[in-house]
Structure 1
Amino acid sequence: MDGRLPTIRPANENLARLCCSIIEEQLGEIERIVVSELLNKGRLSLPQLTRFTNLRQSQVKAALIALMDLDLCTYKEQQEGPRGSAYYYSVNPDKIVYRMRYPFYLVYVADKYGPIGQDIFLQIILYGRRTFNSICDAIQSIHPDQDQVLAVFKAMTDAKEVQPTDPDDVKTNLDKRIEAEKVWKATTDSTMTARVREKMRKALDEEERKAAVDKTWEGLKRKHTTLDEDAWRQTKKTKTVNDLYVDDSLHWKINYDQFHVHLRNAAICDLAKRKIHPAASFVMKYVLDCCEGSMKSCKDDEKSVPIRQWEIRNHMNTASGLCITMYNPNFTSNGQQRSSRRYDSDDSDDGPSSNNKHDPYIKSANPETEFIDLLAKYNEHFQLLKKTDGTGQTEFIVPLKDLSTFMKLEIIRKTIREGFGEVGLRVWNALYMESKLDEKTISTLTMTQAKQVRRVLYMMLEQGFVHLQDVPKRLDHTSQNTFFLYYVSLDLVITNTIEKIYKSIANLKLRRYLESQRFTTTMERAELGEELSDDELKQLDVVKRMTENFKIAELRLDCELMVLKDF
Structure 2
Amino acid sequence: MSMQCSKLCSLIIGETFGMPVQSVVDVLLQKGPSPLRHVLTSMMKSMPIEAIHGALKTLIQHFVVNFHVNSTTGETIYSVNHEKTIEIMRYPRYYAHAEQMVGPVGREVLEEIVQSGLVSISKLIYICGSRVMKSNPDVTEAVLFEQLNLFQTTAMRLAAKKYIVIVPPPSPDNENNEADPGAHKDSHKLPAVDLKVLLGKLLKTNETKLESLPDANILWGIYIQQFHAELRNSMVYQALERKFKSMIDPRVIQVVIEVGLERHQWEDEGAPVSMHEIKDRIEKMPDGLATSKHISEHLEIVEDDPMRILSRLSNQLGGHFAFNMKTAVSELLWNIIDKIITEKHGFHALRIFRLVKASGFVEQDTINEIGMVPGKEAKHLTYKLVDDHFINIKEVKKTYTTNAPPGKTCTVFYVDSSQIVRSLQEYCYKAAYNLKLKSKIEQAKIKRLSVKEERITRILVNMTNKNCAEDQLNEIRELLTPPERGLLLRYQFSSGKLLSGTIQVDETLFVTELYLKYHGKNFPKKK
2:506 is the counterpart of 1:538: no
- Of 31, 40, 43 in structure 2, the residue corresponding to residue 50 of structure 1 is 40
Which of the residues 397, 422, 425 maps onto 2:322?
397
Checking the alignment, whether the CA contact within 8 Å between 1:272 and 1:280 is kept in structure 2 is no
**Structure 2 match to 1:497:** 424
1:60 counterpart (42, 47, 52): 52
Structure 2 CA distance for partners of 1:518 and 1:313, relative to 1, 3 Å: same
Report the CA distance between 1:477 and its aligned residue: 10
Distance apart, 1:499 and its partner CA: 0.5
2:372 aligned partner, one-letter code: M
**How far 1:390 moved relative to its partner?**
9.0
Gaps of 5+ in 2: 133-143, 192-212, 457-475, 516-527
Q: Which residue of 2 aligns with 1:154?
A: 156
Alpha-carbon displacement from aligned partner over 1:360-398 (angstroms, at most 9, x marks no partner):
xxxxx963222222222223xx24421124978621111
Question: After alignment, is 72-81 or 467-476 more displaced?
Answer: 467-476
Q: Which amino acid aligns with 1:57?
A: I
- The equivalent of 1:367 in structure 2 is 294
1:454 alignment partner, one of 364, 370, 379: 379
Q: Does residue 1:316 correspond to 2:316, yes or no?
A: no
Residue 376 in 1 paired to residue 345 in 2?
A: no
Q: Does residue 119 of the first structure (1) align with residue 67 of the second (2)?
A: no
The 5-angstrom pairing of residues 150-229 of structure 1 reads 150-167=152-169, 171-172=173-174, 213-214=183-184, 217=187
Equivalence for 1:15: 5
Query: Contact between 2:159 and 2:190, CA under 8 Å: does it hold in 1?
Result: no
| Equivalent position to 2:229, from 255, 261, 284 | 261
| 1:128 Cα offset (Å) | 0.6
Instruction: Name the structure 2 match of 1:137.
Output: 126
Q: Distance in 1 between matches of 2:406 and 2:23?
A: 49
Q: Where do 5+ consecutive residues of structure 1 fail to align? A: 1-10, 178-207, 222-244, 326-364
What CA distance in whole angstroms lies between the structure 2 residues aligned with 1:445 and 1:58? 67
User: Equivalents in 2 of 1:546, 1:476: separation in Å?
Assistant: 66
Aligned-residue sequence identity (percent) comes to 20
Q: What CA distance in whole angstroms lies between the structure 1 residues aligned with 2:435 and 2:403? A: 49
Maintained 8 Å contact 1:44/1:88: yes
8 A Cα contact 1:157 1:216, kept in partner:
no
3-state DSSP of counterpart to 2:270: coil
User: How many angstroms does 1:288 deviate by?
Assistant: 2.6
> CA–CA distance in 1 between the matches of 2:404 and 2:425?
34
1:290 aligns with 2:259: yes
Match of 1:512 among 439, 450, 453: 439
Check the 8 A contact 1:73/1:170 in 2, yes or no. no
Q: For 1:85-124, what aligned pairs fall within 5 Å after superposition?
A: 85-124=74-113
SS state of the match for residue 442, structure 2? helix
Aligned match of 1:560: 508
Cα distance, 1:453 vs. partner? 0.9
Among candidates 8, 14, 33, match of residue 23 of structure 2 = 33
Tell me: CA distance 1:107–1:524, structure 2 relative to 1, closer, same or farther (3 Å). closer
TM superposition shift of 1:212: 5.4
SS at match of 2:338: helix
Partner Cα distance (1:215, 1:88) in 2? 33
Structure 1 residues 390, 116: CA separation in 2 closer, same or farther (over 3 Å shift)?
A: same
Query: CA–CA distance in 2 between the matches of 1:111 and 1:489?
Result: 39
Please list the CA deviations of residues 284-337 of structure 1 after superposition, one character each: whole Å capped at 9, or x if unmatched.
Answer: 22233334431344xxx2011211111112333454435968xxxxxxxxxxxx
> Structure 2: which amino acid aligns with 1:15?
C
Mapped partners of 1:256, 1:171: distance in 2: 21
Residue 349 of structure 2 corresponds to residue 418 of structure 1: no
**Is residue 215 of structure 2 the alignment partner of residue 247 of structure 1?**
yes
Match of 1:441 among 366, 369, 377: 366
| Match 1:76 to one of 64, 68, 72 | 68
CA contact (8 A) 1:159 1:293 kept: no
**For this pair of structures, how many residues does the alignment match?**
455
Asked whether 1:522 is paired with 2:449, we answer: yes
C-alpha contact 2:256 2:321 (8 A) present in aligned 1: no
CA contact (8 A) 1:376 1:384 kept: yes
Letter in 2 for 1:152: T
* Other structure's SS at 1:397 match: strand
Give the secondary structure class of the aligned counterpart of 1:469: strand
What is the root-mean-square deviation of aligned Cα atoms in Å? 2.9
Q: What is the distance in 1 between the residues matched to 2:177 and 2:233?
A: 30
Q: Taking structure 1 as the reference length, what is the TM-score of the superposition? A: 0.74
